[in-house]
Amino acid sequence: MRVLITGASGYLGREVWNQLRADHTVTALGFSQSLPGLQSVDLRDADALGTLVKVVQPDIVVHCAAYRDPDFCEAHPDETYRLNVAPVETFMQTLPAASRLIYISTDYVFDGNEPPYAEDAARRPINEYGRTKRAAEDVARARSTSIVLRVPLLVGCGLTFEESGFIAKAVQAIEDHPESEWDHVIQRYPTAITDVAAAIRFLLEQQDAAGPYHFSQREGGTQYEWVCRLAAILGYPTDGIQPAHTLTQRPATRPWNSQLANHRLAALGFKRHTPFASVARDVLALRSARSE
């Protein structure tokens, strides 16, 4: 198939690109970061994006690109709309009738008060990031063949150890500040980017797949609990790691527990789950390779 991937220079998009390019004709788009093989396109430019779609004529679009920092989105709602919603509108206007869109959404479309959330649960986002993702879901689902894949916090290897998301930041914080406090209120479900990319590949191969799907790690924990696990993997003492029972005030409110239930994907037969400890060891191996 001809596959168009947006955000292919990003954390998840790179992994999707890696998993699809051996078996499909892939056009990978990036903008903020230049990588070999990427086409640079500003998705906020509707004319440029529409022209590209007409040239590529993709069978599948995997739309990973978005502003993901909730605090940035809260402070810049207009700019957030330009990237999180407007490109989906352009795709709906310019994609061939037979083309399918896989739109990557978020657990933040839910308010976090009634977990776990099934695919058809009421969406009540409590921050601007979640609201724009809900709006984009609605635009995508105007086409009956579109797939919406909601995912939570993602973990895995970046191009370097330093670019490896939550795990790299937590490891560096543990080493730099052995005495530290970590949120012990909000539940998180860190999910491997390799598993999410595999779920995307699985879905695009299901001819009848459409509508919302969830993919999430089953096991949850607070930031404090996950950091303690990382410290144990590193062989560091956890005595100085303390739980914070009061949330730090931030521009965007976070859902307390937006756990996703994976009912529809499981019913199709997709049940892959890489343990957090395995992902953490892969990220740490990046650092070891750098120092050799």
State residue 127's pLDDT score: 98
φ, ψ of residue 287 in degrees (nearest 5): -65, -40
Local structure of residue 260 (DSSP, 8 states)? B
Tokens 């709309």 — which residue?
81
Q: Which CATH superfamily is domain 2-154+190-218+259-273 in?
A: NAD(P)-binding Rossmann-like Domain (3.40.50.720)
What is the pLDDT at residue 195? 98
Q: 105 burial class (0-12, 13-18, 19+ CB within 10 angstroms)? A: buried
The 10 Å Cβ neighbour count of residue 224 is: 21
Task: Please enumerate in sequence order all residues whose Cβ is within 8 A of that of 53, keeping only pairs 6 or more positions apart, or say none.
Answer: 4, 90, 91, 94, 95
Residue 177's pLDDT is: 85
Backbone conformation region of residue 259, classed left if phi is above 0, alpha if psi is from -120 to 50, else beta: beta
For the chain, domain boundaries = 2-154+190-218+259-273
Q: β-strands 180-183, 241-244: how paired?
A: parallel
Structure confidence at residue 33 (pLDDT): 74
Which two three-digit tokens encode residue 132? 């724009």
- Answer yes or no: are the C-beta atoms of 197 and 16 closer than 8 Å: yes
pLDDT at 290: 66
d(CA 165, CA 180): 19
Q: Whole-prediction pTM value?
A: 0.96
Tokens found for residue 148: 């919406």
- In the numeric block, the tokens 């956890």 are attached to 238
β-sheet with 147-151: strand ranges across: 39-40, 25-30, 2-6, 60-63, 100-106, 147-151, 211-214
Quick one: DSSP state of residue 31?
Answer: S
User: Which pLDDT score is estimated for 292?
Assistant: 58
Q: For the range 277-282, what are the long-range contacts, defined as Cβ-Cβ under 8 Å and sequence gap of 24 or more?
A: 277/229, 277/233, 278/192, 279/155, 279/156, 279/167, 279/190, 279/192, 279/194, 280/155, 280/167, 280/229, 280/230, 280/233, 281/233, 282/156, 282/157
User: Are the CB atoms for 80 and 128 separated by under 8 Å?
Assistant: yes
Per-10-residue mean pLDDT of the chain, 292 residues long, equals: 96 96 95 84 97 97 97 98 98 96 98 98 98 98 97 95 93 89 97 98 95 96 96 90 93 97 96 94 88 58
